[in-house]
Amino acid sequence: MKVIKGGTGLEIVKGYVDHIVYRNQDNGYTVFQLENEEGEVTCVGTFPYIHEGEMLEVSGEYTSHSIYGEQLQVVKHEMLEPEDLVSIERYLGSGAIKGLGTVLAGRIVRRFKGDTFRIIEEEPERLAEVQGISERKAREIGIQVEEKKDMRKAMIYLQKYGITLALSAKIYAYYGQKVYSVLEENPYQIADRIPGVGFKTADEIAARIGIHTDSDYRIRSGIVYVLLQAVTDGHIFLPESEVLSRARTLLEIELEDISTYLMDLAIEKKIIIKKGEEESRIYTAQYYYMEMNVAKRLHDLNVTYEVSDVALENRLSQIEKSTELQLDDKQKEAVKEAVKNGVFILTGGPGTGKTTTINALIHFFESEGLDIFLAAPTGRAAKRMTEATGYEARTVHRMLELNYMPDEEDHRMHYGRNEENPLDADVIIIDEMSMVDLPLLSVLLQAITVGTRLILVGDKDQLPSVGPGSVLKDIILSNHFSVVTLTKIFRQAQQSDIVVNAHKINRGEAVVLDNKSQDFFFLKRQDADTIISVILTLIQKKLPNYVDADAFDIQVLTPMRKGLLGVERLNTILQQYMNPPDAKKVEKEYGDKKFRVGDKVMQIKNNYQLEWEISTKYGLVVDKGVGVFNGDIGRITEINTFTEVMEVEFEKKKKVQYPFQMLDELELAYAVTIHKSQGSEYPAVVIPLLTGPRQLFHRNLIYTAITRAKKCVTLVGSDTTFHEMVQNINEQNRYTSLAEQIREIQ
């Protein structure tokens, strides 16, 4: 099989692609078996487009791999048309052409022999002469063969501009043969229309093509990009001056006046400009209308129900007698308000009786014969709700029957429950509302009809949602809905310094750090490495027995990702001590991450298509489903370097298979950011604290961190930083206008 090409020193092999072992869709790196009459050779290299059955001529050098043996490292390659009849038949039946299997491929080759490819390309209608092929199918086969040629050319063309293969495929699928004119005229439009192509990618392409930095295309696209980036930071709009400032920084040009470009974008209906008290607010059209629709739907749901106070009192007395629930005046008021109003908000800190009130509400509505749905934004929060109430609670996504296959056209998730097919419930109770962002609330409200009571429960002083908006705070601020705030700390909760100190922090009061508590400790240390050493001692030796939990269940929560006490450094060190290397433990390096069997990992993005299974120890599958969500924590149970798959077991014994190319969705979770811990509860948390940016080190952050612990909180670090955080109320405000939108409906 080895032939030396004169003068180059490269070995040339000609054959057909028998089997693709591995392919990275982003960069095109491929491992495949090339076969001809002399045998088989393993080839590795980067290929813009390749399919089993295709004929190739490859040039490269042989190398020896420690595991896979001899391989041909391909430097260049050329696509060939299959030469002999066997190769032609093999290619046609390989799956490269949809609708053609091995049987039909055999019939075609037997009919047309060596003339097969000419017939397909020049006279495809003649394929209908073959049994089993209609005229329509014959035309489709001809088109496919032609398209493959065109697609291959386009992929190679796009590679010149540094576009990954995965994105190239998306771009070509959207534009087809128009891709050349689109890129040459206005590459910025691909950033608007194709998910995964951002402004920066388009900007790089534009620079290579020679489009000027001050072109209108570029400036308008840059403005849209600025607004979309603001959404990822939680904002729904930006003031005009902020748009101007951010656009200048992004575009790196002197942009004196932005109004003309904003008007052009408004005319194109890409943005909405709304007059504010001091200056104009600039929204992306999508989020402006989303916020407006949420306001309208909340307003429409907020009907009043006529119920006599006497009847309510009697019913509440019956509930208290028949259950072990004891309600104070505020909790009774909450039940009454929830019964009388279509939309009701219950808020309060830890230990104030929110769960007891939810249970009373469930008993009340159940006694009325009403159907009640319970939900929370995350699986962990839903699980806690189920445990606290004894009734099944689901994630909001699951309740809405999320269709996990995005639409090919708009790439959006689709829900089984929507305006046309609303939720069949009389009462819907959503817990942990501080975690719900505007897009999730929007799809939820679309599935609720007027006449259904909506009860929103949460702690308004927790950190805002990771996604855009500040919906719980805004709904309360609108002053349009009935709100009951629970403030009394109940006797049982009073025994916990976690609860007592959390409320002190929330009120800005001094917290005593004398370590006389049973569940709240502060270990003063001033050096990062010393702090880490203390953390390790706590996790490995002190806390497991103290809180009766596994060391892996104790969670380190830190304010930052970077720095000496950031997530990235902490995870590297904690991994080394908590799950040290071992010859029996398989490892996988992915970018700058190293995963090892036994590691604690976290899913860092919502993946609605990822499949999970629950099976018995004998391998019998007892349940399966789809969807793994941002913040889910699990353990690596297996790394298979041959199949290139990593298995992670999440809570409830859910096992998920991750192909190696998907490992960017996981990161080590020995330490996580406080933001990522929202909605979670851990037996014990350890919080390292040294100095950090004032806009990040604020009261809400430390309040959220402390309230994640069930049995024990240990802070390690600077008490000065801790006291400063308690007094710092200057958290980064989000630009949202839901409260105003609600008020404007009046």
Helix (H, G, I), strand (E, B) or coil at 485: strand
- C-alpha 176/C-alpha 181 separation (Å) is 11
Give the residue, 24 or 178, on which the prediction is more confident.
178
pLDDT in tens, 552-563: 999 999 999 999
pLDDT in tens, 315-332: 899 998 888 888 999 999
- Position 410 confidence tier, pLDDT thresholds 50, 70, 90: very low
Q: Which of 132-141, 410-419, 463-472 has the lowest mean pLDDT?
A: 410-419
Q: Is the pLDDT of residue 409 over 50?
A: no
The model carries a pTM of: 0.76
- C-alpha 294/C-alpha 474 separation (Å) is 11
Q: Per-residue pLDDT averaged across 113-136, rounded? A: 85
- Top-ranked range on mean pLDDT: pick from 52-66, 209-223, 529-543: 529-543
Q: Per-residue pLDDT averaged across 113-134, rounded? A: 85
Residue 363: name the closest of 427, 414, 285, 283 by CA.
427
* pLDDT value of position 406: 46
CB neighbourhood size of 198 (10 A)? 15
pLDDT in tens, 495-523: 899 999 999 999 999 999 999 999 999 99
Give the residue, 282 or 212, on which the prediction is more confident.
282
Cα–Cα distances (Å) from 194 to 255, 653, 680, in that order, read 27, 37, 34
pLDDT in tens, 691-727: 888 878 999 999 999 999 999 999 999 999 999 999 9
* pLDDT value of position 177: 83
Q: Per-residue pLDDT averaged across 653-660, rounded? A: 91
pLDDT in tens, 352-398: 999 999 999 999 999 999 999 999 998 778 888 999 999 999 989 88
Q: Per-residue pLDDT averaged across 63-90, rounded? A: 78
Cβ-Cβ contacts under 8 Å for 479 (sequence gap 6 or more):
743
Q: Which of 117-121, 137-141, 434-438 has the lowest mean pLDDT?
A: 117-121
Residue 9: name the closest of 62, 77, 80 by CA.
62
Query: Contact, 366 vs 372, CB < 8 A?
Result: yes
Strands (DSSP E) along 641-675, which ranges?
Answer: 645-650, 654-659, 666-668, 671-673
Q: Show the CA angle centred on residue 432, arms to residues 360 and 414, nearest 5°.
A: 110
Cα–Cα distances (Å) from 406 to 410, 545, 722, in that order, read 8, 46, 45
Query: Contact, 675 vs 645, CB < 8 A?
Result: no
Give the residue, 617 or 299, on which the prediction is more confident.
299
- Position 25 confidence tier, pLDDT thresholds 50, 70, 90: low
- C-alpha 258/C-alpha 266 separation (Å) is 12
Q: Per-residue pLDDT averaged across 630-647, rounded? A: 89
Give the torsion sign (CA, 233, 239, 242, 247).
positive
Cβ-Cβ contacts under 8 Å for 620 (sequence gap 6 or more):
none
* pLDDT value of position 332: 93
Query: Contact, 16 vs 82, CB < 8 A?
Result: yes
Decide: residue 344, CB within 10 A, 0-12 exposed, 13-18 middle, 19+ buried: buried
Query: Contact, 666 vs 595, CB < 8 A?
Result: yes
- C-alpha 133/C-alpha 687 separation (Å) is 68
Q: What is the mean pLDDT of the chain?
A: 87
Decide: residue 374, CB within 10 A, 0-12 exposed, 13-18 middle, 19+ buried: buried
Q: Per-residue pLDDT averaged across 285-304, rounded? A: 96
Query: Contact, 136 vs 126, CB < 8 A?
Result: no
Cα–Cα distances (Å) from 725 to 71, 133, 358, 511, 704, in that order, read 58, 74, 32, 12, 12
The position carrying tokens 């001050």 is 214
In angstroms and rounded to an integer, the radius of gyration of the C-alpha atoms of the chain is 31
